[in-house]
Amino acid sequence: MQEAAGVLKEGFLVKRGHIVRNWKVRWFVLLQDKLLYYKIEGGKKEPHPKGRILLDGCTITCPCLEYENRPLLIKLKTKTNTDYFLECCSREERDSWALDITGAIHAGHPVQVQELHKMKKSFKLLENISLHHIVEKMYDNSTGIKLTRNLEQGNRYKETFTGSALVDWLISHSFAVSRFEAVTLASMLMEENFIKPVGARSTEAMRYSDLSEQFLDDSTALYMFAEKSNKNISSKEELQFNIAELSGTIVKQGFLVKQGHKRKNWKVRKFVLRTDPAFLHYYDPTKEENRPVGGFSLRGCLVSALEDNGVPAGVKGNVQGNLFKIITKNDIHYYIQASSKAERTQWIEAIKPLT
């Protein structure tokens, strides 16, 4: 997340997907002629961009009001009529991005764009495909995926299906036309927590960062519906926050990367700092529900920067750096990454007076 030569602007934005219309947080880098976006894995930006938006001939719409529950959108339409929807964390951030992107579009240096004509590795699924619809069909008693007992390395698993069985099922029900497409679609079902790997074979594949390698078209790789996991997640999401703690004045907000308490994985969250009363809440920016997934009172908290030389105790993964820690009065430790040292300092200075 460090600045690079020729970079006009960089930071987190929430992007709508092209194949499945879901929303994902990506790290965007604005150059003179293109906008690159990267996946964040394990708290670190991947070395190669996941995609690029070529700005030559682009038109920009801001504000974009096409999504009622996402009022902070920028819409980019490329000269090949591809639409990109990018969501910011605040109106100020949205207007800043829109101004800088507009400046890059009209910089007066049109480039010869050969990348547009390169063969794309991606494929097109059915228009407006719904993962929920696929899962409903998978559950159908007569035509759905067959659930069986399976044995792997001496362990018995109930109500499972193999990777190759799901690929066959997706093709036979016309959700995909090739095994490659079906594997990618199955990976999306897994990434969105509709299905989950069980057993050593399929769980091992999850260590790959490339989405296309996470799901195995294999008769020995086992999977099952993740409805129990979803129930646990929904019960967490239904956690009711006290109205009073959400009534304070917002003094700072932005995207930060937070380490989870149980799985110790890193997720981008939208943090909102409020005063009177002083609370720090965090939201899942990919969801439309405008309610926190967590938060805590700042009264009695300790906040401090963590050194960037080496990985501090309590921190897991190959992190980017710019870490700081908040310890609540109940001795709960929150590890958070900012995108730069300057941003880390700004957050610490904003939080300290409220503790």
Instruction: Tell me what percent of the residues of the chain surpass a pLDDT of 70.
Output: 83
Higher pLDDT, 243 or 66: 66
The pLDDT tens digits for 245-261 are 777 888 999 999 999 87
Q: What is the pLDDT of residue 66?
A: 84
**Spatial CB neighbours of 135, under 8 Å, sequence gap ≥ 6:** 189, 194, 225
What topology is assigned to 131-225 in CATH? Arc Repressor Mutant, subunit A (1.10.10)
Could you tell me if 193 and 233 are in contact, meaning their C-beta atoms sit under 8 angstroms apart?
Answer: yes
Supply the DSSP symbol for 239. P
Query: How far is the C-alpha of 154 from the C-alpha of 150, rounded, in Å?
Result: 10
* pLDDT confidence band for 311 (50 / 70 / 90): low
Query: How far is the C-alpha of 327 from the C-alpha of 300, rounded, in Å?
Result: 9
* pLDDT confidence band for 238 (50 / 70 / 90): very low
Q: Does residue 200 carry a pLDDT above 60?
A: yes
Q: Tokens standing for 234? A: 């929904």
What topology is assigned to 243-352 in CATH? PH-domain like (2.30.29)
Query: How far is the C-alpha of 257 from the C-alpha of 270, rounded, in Å?
Result: 9
Query: How far is the C-alpha of 15 from the C-alpha of 209, rounded, in Å?
Result: 19
> Which has the closest alpha carbon to 294: 334, 348, 254?
334
The pLDDT tens digits for 126-176 are 445 678 889 989 998 888 998 888 776 667 788 899 898 898 899 888 888
If one counts every other C-beta atom within 10 angstroms of the C-beta of residue 139, the result is 12
Coil, strand or helix: which one is 153?
A: coil
From the number of C-beta atoms within 10 Å of its C-beta (0-12, 13-18, 19+), residue 217 rates as middle
If one counts every other C-beta atom within 10 angstroms of the C-beta of residue 299, the result is 12
If one counts every other C-beta atom within 10 angstroms of the C-beta of residue 109, the result is 9
The pLDDT tens digits for 317-338 are 767 788 999 999 989 999 999 9
If one counts every other C-beta atom within 10 angstroms of the C-beta of residue 141, the result is 5
Of 137-141, 207-211, 247-251, 267-271, least confident by mean pLDDT is 207-211
Is there a cis peptide before residue 292, judged by omega within 30 degrees of 0? Answer: no
Sketch the domain layout of the chain as residue ranges: 7-120, 131-225, 243-352
Q: Cα 145 from chain centroid? A: 28
The pLDDT tens digits for 94-124 are 888 998 999 888 875 444 333 323 322 344 4
Q: Does residue 263 carry a pLDDT above 80?
A: no
Q: Tokens standing for 294? A: 């967590």
CA distances for 182 relative to 167, 176, 230, 317, 355, angstroms: 5, 5, 23, 31, 51
Q: Which CATH class is domain 7-120?
A: mainly beta
- Please indicate whether the domains covering 7-120 and 243-352 agree at the CATH topology level: yes
The pLDDT tens digits for 276-301 are 889 999 999 998 777 888 899 999 99
